[in-house]
Amino acid sequence: MQQQQKSKQAAPGGEDSLRRDAISSPDPIAVQELFKSHDYEAEWEYLVIEDPDEAAIKIANDVKTEILPELRMRFGIADFTVTFVEDLGSGCLGKYIDGTYTQPVMVLDFAAIKAICEVDDVDIEVGIETTITHELAHAIHELLGLTARSEIQAEEFAREWWKNRRFAKWTHRKPTVFRS
């Protein structure tokens, strides 16, 4: 603990250096200590569904239970929040809240996901899971310091997790923001 605090204070390069050190740390506790938590609440900007569909909540929790150990080990993400909201608009299924990458927050439009699943004849489980993993990809973009948040990469991330239960290859490269 003292060694982590010491390296935190002495780290040249500020926040980017701390983020790089945390990403490479094998100790999830040290990672959590290096990252400051945020206090974002979806209610601040969105109309949260008071009584969301129980099946949707179960699906989201199942996705979280399965992917979180991998996120913790690879990126130091110890938790994330999924909140079901009303009408994100213009065909939007979900949205990652910028700045929450240490403990990502995302909002999902259950009605929009359900509608697209019906049109495409896809199970709602797949729709919710791929929306969550797509939004997590945006958090990973931010965590790695990638300023261009590619929708193609987010779709690749969601597809790779859904099909093979592994992270897309683009997550393996070194963050460009940290190069000297």
**pLDDT level of residue 17 (50, 70, 90 thresholds):** very low
Residues 6+ positions from 51 with CB-CB distance below 8 Å: none
Q: How buried is residue 173: exposed, middle or buried, by Cβ count under 10 Å (0-12/13-18/19+)? A: exposed
- pTM listed for this prediction: 0.76
**pLDDT level of residue 174 (50, 70, 90 thresholds):** low
Tell me the CATH class for 40-178: alpha beta
- Tell me the domain boundaries of the chain: 1-36, 40-178
> For residue 37, what pLDDT is reported?
61
Torsions phi, psi for 93 (to 5 deg): -90, -35
Q: Number of helices (H) and strands (E) in the chain: give both, helices first.
A: 7, 3
